[in-house]
Amino acid sequence: MKLEIGREFPSHFQPAYPEEFELFSHFETTAGIPQVLFAITTWKENGKPNVCFHSWACFHGDKTAFFAVMGNLYQHTHTYQNLQREPCFCLNFLPLSYYDRLSDTIRHNSLEEDEFLAGGFTLENAKTVSAPVIGESFLTMECTLKQQMDLSGAGITAMVIGQVEHMSVEEAYARDRLKQYGRDGYMLLVPAPQDLVSGKPGQSGIAIADIQKWD
């Protein structure tokens, strides 16, 4: 038997925090699909470095270009506003051990704050675009803004597509590619799987990749 969930909000779904379903679709907690976590870095209008701890993305392209497709970027954020002013950004991938430091940047994200300082990160400059880079990242993507779209038309979030211009990979990870898959590699967000029967809220999880089979 399959449980059927439609577009109408299920009346028995309970939020994990008061504004959860003001921010996210109930389909997100229905599916609970793991997503890679990373940090988007840009410059604020006052020259301070900005960090946006983000998920909800995919990465793909063809022989002509490679793209980072990021959904659910809130239009009220510094990051979105920074992209309107300067159409470029960097994506920084860090292991699970940096989760708390990245979370600190969420709690210290006012316009006046240096979010690299808040997270204790090393500030470096990108090679090909005007954006800051987290020196501790094992993988960095430097991107120019290719396209943006308000998918819902509600003025709440935007899908942002960046064209990757350059990548930097930490040498230890380049020599041992398995380091990217495990505790020292990508961290994944498991977004609060809802109990679909009782409607009780779930707790978001932070996971790592674990290769089980080579294809």
DSSP string for the chain: ------SSPPTT---SSTTHHHHS-HHHHHH---EE-EEEEEE-TTS-EEEEEE--EEEEEETTEEEEEEEEEETTSHHHHHHHHS-EEEEEE--GGGHHHHHHHHHS-STTS-HHHHHTPPEEE-SSSS-EEETT-SEEEEEEEEEEE-SSSSSSEEEEEEEEEEEEE-HHHHH-GGGGSSTTS-EEEE-----TTT-PPP--EEEE-------
**Does residue 105 sit in the same domain as residue 142?**
yes
Amino acid 177: pLDDT: 87
CB 53 within 8 A of CB 109: no
CA 3/CA 55 separation, integer angstroms: 27
Whether residue 1 is contained in a domain is answered as no
**Does residue 15 sit in the same domain as residue 68?**
no
Whether residue 24 is contained in a domain is answered as yes
**Does residue 198 sit in the same domain as residue 172?**
no
CA 107/CA 119 separation, integer angstroms: 10
pLDDT digits (tens), the chain, 215 positions: 999 999 999 999 999 999 999 999 999 999 999 999 999 999 999 999 999 999 999 999 999 999 999 999 999 999 999 999 999 999 999 999 999 999 999 999 999 999 999 999 999 999 999 999 999 999 999 999 999 999 999 999 999 999 999 999 999 999 998 999 999 999 999 999 999 999 999 999 999 999 999 99
Whether residue 92 is contained in a domain is answered as yes
Tell me, letter by letter, the H, E, C secondary structure of 126-150: CCCCCCEEECCCCEEEEEEEEEEEC
**Does residue 76 sit in the same domain as residue 138?**
yes
Whether residue 26 is contained in a domain is answered as yes
Note the pTM of the prediction, 2 decimals.
0.95
CA 90/CA 163 separation, integer angstroms: 11
Total domain count for the chain? 2
Amino acid 17: pLDDT: 93
Residue span of the structural domain in which 17 resides: 10-32+191-209
**Does residue 60 sit in the same domain as residue 21?**
no
CB within 8 A of 66, min separation 6: which ones?
59, 60, 163, 164
Amino acid 56: pLDDT: 93
**Does residue 78 sit in the same domain as residue 166?**
yes
**Does residue 118 sit in the same domain as residue 177?**
yes
Whether residue 97 is contained in a domain is answered as yes
**Does residue 120 sit in the same domain as residue 107?**
yes
**Does residue 105 sit in the same domain as residue 116?**
yes
CATH of the domain at 145: 2.30.110.10
The residues with which 189 forms a beta bridge, in sequence order, are 35, 206
Nearest Cα neighbor of 82 from 72, 94, 71, 74 is 74
Whether residue 5 is contained in a domain is answered as no
Whether residue 161 is contained in a domain is answered as yes
**Does residue 66 sit in the same domain as residue 79?**
yes
**Does residue 25 sit in the same domain as residue 77?**
no
Whether residue 85 is contained in a domain is answered as yes
**Does residue 99 sit in the same domain as residue 149?**
yes
